[in-house]
Amino acid sequence: MSMHPNAGKQVPKNLLTNIPQLISSYYIQKPNPKNSNERVSFGTSGHRGSSLNNSFNEIHIFAVTQAVCDYRKKAGITGILFMGIDTHALSYPAQLSALQVLAANGVDVRIAKNNGYTPTPVISHAILTHNANAAVQCDGIVITPSHNPPSDGGFKYNPPHGGPADTDVTDWIQARANMIIEDEMVDLHKFTPKEALNANNIKEYDYIGPYVEDLQNVIDMQSIAKSGIRIGADAMGGAGMAYYKAIKEHYGLNMDIFNDTLDSTFSFMHCDKDGQVRMDCSSPYAMAGLVALKENYDIAFGNDTDFDRHGIVTKSVGLINPNHYLSVAIDYLAQNRPQWKSELGIGKTLVSSSMIDRVANALERKVIEVPVGFKWFVDGLTKGEIFFGGEESAGASFLRKDGSVWSTDKDGIILALLSAEILAVTKRDPGEYYQELTQKFGTPAYARIDAPATSEQCAILKNLSVENIKEQSLAGEPIEAILTNAPGNGAAIGGLKVVAKNGWFALRPSGTEPIYKIYAESFIGEEHLKQIQQEAQSIVKRLF
């Protein structure tokens, strides 16, 4: 995609989302179940869409929530359902719709106190901590489209393992929800909004206290506080706004917090590369406001709207590349968690930097490479087989200090706080730390190209086979591997990866937006990277 004139600039007022229109459309518009774009569709992170194009409306939420209730009965899940929402404008109406169905189905639900907001990782943390000692299994729902534009809504289901539901679960829920819509909602059980909010099985819950108190068991909060380093925390108007305030007060941190009031237009944001308003904390364009403040703080960070991703800003480099930070976090944690077993491995997605492999090799740790999607790390974290699971899109989680599981969903809060711990303990910010890694292992050039794609084109890329690649070399080097399944677990990539000695590329459609992505990396240099990208683009043109 070419650079938009508004990239990195504060959102122009004429581009702000019309919130009244958005919410009105949520209730008024009715999806056409015969239109594939208006059906319930679970991507890598649940169902997402907008009420303005009939892909996220009251009917969808009624149906998908009823489908979750039906799935719970089928799976024998009878414990508490923990529910959280983010600050997108459609999230609160969607929560109210979901509560109407959950209340009528007799599900025991916990929502945040005082109409509050709850980050995705906090729901995962609540599920896991309750299931550790509960006689019956708990699960959860998070209503969020993550970092997507303000006009979008999203709905995610987390089963009792606390992480994103696998495709066997989401496929069932998706099919059941669409069947309910097609049958004109005859199987829907729901209360009125007033009945739901007054139902005995819908209760308010303190999510903030237990999570904030427990942070000391996963992050060295004492070292951060004792160091006195000046921290800038950009809540980015998201679900964790109240959490940073509570963390600052509880642990006595020298931390400034900003963008911590509700603004569902996200007018304080800067436009992303394509000119869209997108709360992507891994984008230097979207994060331009925080980057401009980097000299004011020893370390600064921001999070996307549901706080499952992290963006780390240092004095040394500004916004650190997510791949670079993953490498730093892995290297630091492996050497600063003495209670962890030495045989614990490292989980990475196959589109993450090969720098992780080089760091892991020096640490004598096994790398488990999986497809895109945090769900692939759930078993490894739960069973204590990996100490870290991370994605190139700035999402990761890791174990508690004692080696037990913390969360099985991405946790942008602990990754943000870890950057402060690294600085407090090593006296180097993550940017400086990464430079030392490059001196040991080389300097990779990495980039991702996004381009628009139709649903038909996305389907082509999702179902690629080895036979689709006729080339014998990649940017002057013999091709060593063509992968359609991840080497770490044998699961389908939903795309394809081509690997040579000093470079690779991967093609895959987005699971959340109508685009495809080309990931590429070179350990030779920028020119070699460009050559890899050009050859990858030529392959895509041939496929389309």
The mean pLDDT value for 117-141 works out to: 96
The answer to whether residue 198 scores a pLDDT higher than 90 is yes
The answer to whether residue 238 scores a pLDDT higher than 70 is yes
Dist. CA 64–CA 52, nearest whole Å: 19
The first and second tokens of residue 19, run together, are 């919130």
Higher-confidence position of 135 and 118: 118
Dist. CA 84–CA 379, nearest whole Å: 23
pLDDT of amino acid 523: 94
User: Cα angle at 347 between 44 and 380, to 5 degrees?
Assistant: 85
pLDDT of amino acid 366: 97
The answer to whether residue 90 scores a pLDDT higher than 60 is yes
Q: DSSP assignment, residue 415?
A: H
Q: Is 146 a catalytic residue?
A: yes
The answer to whether residue 265 scores a pLDDT higher than 80 is yes
pLDDT of amino acid 38: 96
Residues 6+ apart with CB under 8 A from 240: 117, 119, 303, 307, 412, 413
pLDDT of amino acid 499: 95
Of 260, 247, 267, 301, residue with least CA distance to 116: 260
**Confidence label for 133 from pLDDT (cuts 50, 70 and 90):** confident
Element at 64 (helix H, strand E)? helix 58-75
pLDDT of amino acid 336: 98
Average pLDDT, the chain: 96
The mean pLDDT value for 363-369 works out to: 97
* 242-265 core/surface letters (b: 16 or more CB in 10 A; e: else): bbbbbbbebbebebbbbbbeeebb
Amino acid 518 reads: I
Cα separation of the two ends of the chain: 17
pLDDT of amino acid 127: 98
For 302, the 3-state DSSP assignment is: strand
pLDDT of amino acid 350: 94
Which listed residue (146, 264, 282, 419) is catalytic?
A: 146
**Confidence label for 513 from pLDDT (cuts 50, 70 and 90):** confident
The answer to whether residue 43 scores a pLDDT higher than 90 is no
pLDDT of amino acid 455: 85
Dist. CA 229–CA 322, nearest whole Å: 22
What is the assigned CATH class of domain 13-209?
Answer: alpha beta
The mean pLDDT value for 277-305 works out to: 97
pLDDT of amino acid 3: 87
The mean pLDDT value for 26-34 works out to: 96
The answer to whether residue 544 scores a pLDDT higher than 60 is yes
The mean pLDDT value for 406-434 works out to: 98
The answer to whether residue 1 scores a pLDDT higher than 60 is no
Dist. CA 370–CA 355, nearest whole Å: 16
pLDDT digits (tens, 9 = 90+) for 171-186: 999 999 999 999 999 9
Higher-confidence position of 544 and 9: 9
pLDDT digits (tens, 9 = 90+) for 472-489: 999 999 999 999 999 999
pLDDT of amino acid 45: 73
φ, ψ at 291 (rounded to 5°): -60, -35
Residues 316 and 425: beta-carbon distance below 8 Å: no
Query: Taking the C-alpha atoms of 100, 101, 107 and 111 in order, what is their torsion angle to the nearest 10 degrees?
Result: -40
What residue ranges do the domains of the chain occupy?
A: 13-209, 445-543
**Confidence label for 442 from pLDDT (cuts 50, 70 and 90):** very high
pLDDT of amino acid 543: 87
Dist. CA 508–CA 500, nearest whole Å: 18
Element at 243 (helix H, strand E)? helix 241-251
Q: What pairs with residue 497 in β-bridges?
A: 483, 506
Q: What is the fold of 445-543?
A: TATA-Binding Protein (3.30.310)
Radius of gyration of the chain (CA): 22
Of 178, 543, 166, 177, residue with least CA distance to 382: 166
pLDDT of amino acid 2: 74
Residues 6+ apart with CB under 8 A from 201: 102, 103, 106, 107, 108, 109
The answer to whether residue 451 scores a pLDDT higher than 90 is no
10 Å Cβ neighbour count for 136?
A: 13
Dist. CA 80–CA 202, nearest whole Å: 10
**Confidence label for 93 from pLDDT (cuts 50, 70 and 90):** very high
